[in-house]
Structure 1
Amino acid sequence: MLMKVCGMKYSDNISALASLKPDMMGFIFYPKSKRFVDKKVLEMSFREFDENISKVAVFVNKSAEFIASDLVGLHFDYIQLHGKEPIEEVIKLKNYGYKIIKAFPMSNAFEWDRTEAYEAYCDYFVFDTSSPNHGGSGQQFDWNILKNYQGKTPFLLSGGISIQDIEQIKKFQHPQLAGIDINSKFEIEPGLKDIDLVQKMIKEFRR
């Protein structure tokens, strides 16, 4: 399964995490987030970035034109959309050549037909805990909700995952579960990952 580490912000921390070789690394382009990343940091960090690690840019309610313009020269692999982006914007981003991850906020009241329009255009979904701040809550949702997901698009499990959840993750069964997305439970402060803790998680996860 895939290991995605999201919310990276500092150059040295990005380099240290890259040495652990996660499958994906996520960077937040949402200005209201405490993990909002400076593009100058990315320009420096990406000069010698492992090409085997997929780079994911996370946006909230921005147009495809804005995203494409904002990312010129940074060579991201995936765009993760974490707001209420209409399918038309997803299609435009696909036409720009990006792979797409669409996040959905999970709650007991979630209506699964909301995912259907995105099926044909998204490489992955992220199922995250519902939060007014569009993620980063550090809280888990009830994973049993996902039993109601009957779609064909693979998904990453997100929302308050910690190293204490590793056995529960391994036991969790769903035909479309592709991996996990970790963030706040592995931080010293917002945007600064505890490298030793992430290393331990990756080792246990891939065992």
Structure 2
Amino acid sequence: MKPKIKICGLKDRENILDVIGLQPDYIGFIFHVPSGRFVDQLDPAWVKTLQGVKKTGVFVNHPLEEVQAAINAYDFQAVQLHGDESPAYCMALRAQHVKVIKAFGIGAAYDWSRLIPYEDAADYYLFDTQSSQYGGTGKVFDWKLLEDYPSAKSYFLSGGLRYENIQEALRLNDSRCYALDLNSKFETSPGVKNIELLKKTFQLIAR
């Protein structure tokens, strides 16, 4: 089965509409202020009107009440958590009837037991490249590490995905790989996606 597609790090109105026109499964809005893709002045009421795609808020160690307020203001169907959020924090958000995607940075000799407390707290995991900073690095981790992933829980694959390595990602042939998370390698500038490149990538995934 072909993976779902998530386009993350959107902040420009016209570009968002163009991205939605490609019919991805998820779009992501980043609320981490240091990010060049921070939502900034994007109007919540306008985002709330967007249909036909699962809207995802991306947060890093935000106070729980701020995330809960954003879910209501933007009409998010999912939240993606890139910080040190606890299982209890995740469960509190699931109570708002959104899908919880808990991100983990994967590196050499990764301790997969770190995921155990989240088995009942998250709907999906997201695997990105391990880094000292929060959020994406634009770099690929060694996907062979996923051979040791012990859980049956579906995951989003992130970290340095680009047109040139999409076919390699598809060849992982892991039924648990639920979605591909496309971000910085598909941009003309931070937060503005290259629509033509995305079109080519969508066609590649659909083959």
Q: Deviations over 1:19-42 (max 9, x none)?
A: 000000011011111100035434
Residues of 1 paired with 2:44 and 2:161: CA distance?
A: 25
Q: CA deviation at 1:66?
A: 2.0
The residue that corresponds to 1:102 in the other structure is 102
AA aligned opposite 2:200: K
Show the 5 A alignment for 1:1-207: 1-38=3-40, 40-47=42-49, 49-50=50-51, 52-207=52-207
CA contact (8 A) 1:63 1:89 kept: no
CA contact (8 A) 1:3 1:23 kept: yes
Residues of 2 paired with 1:34 and 1:132: CA distance?
A: 17
AA aligned opposite 2:82: H
Unaligned stretches of 5+ residues in structure 1: none
**Cα gap change, 1:96 to 1:46, in 2 (>3 Å):** closer
Residues of 2 paired with 1:88 and 1:111: CA distance?
A: 21
Unaligned stretches of 5+ residues in structure 2: none
**Cα gap change, 1:190 to 1:136, in 2 (>3 Å):** farther
Q: Deviations over 1:85-123 (max 9, x none)?
A: 111101111112221000000101321011111111222
Q: Please provide the CA RMSD for this pair.
A: 1.4
Q: CA deviation at 1:45?
A: 4.0
AA aligned opposite 1:3: I
Residues of 1 paired with 2:183 and 2:96: CA distance?
A: 28
CA contact (8 A) 1:33 1:133 kept: no
Q: Deviations over 1:16-65 (max 9, x none)?
A: 10000000001101111110003543432442x22x31011000012322
Work out the number of aligned pairs and report it. Answer: 205
Residues of 2 paired with 1:83 and 1:122: CA distance?
A: 14
Residues of 2 paired with 1:69 and 1:23: CA distance?
A: 23
- Give the TM-score taking structure 1 as reference length: 0.93
Residues of 1 paired with 2:132 and 2:34: CA distance?
A: 11
- State which drifts further: 67-76 or 100-109: 67-76
CA contact (8 A) 1:14 1:45 kept: no
AA aligned opposite 1:65: E
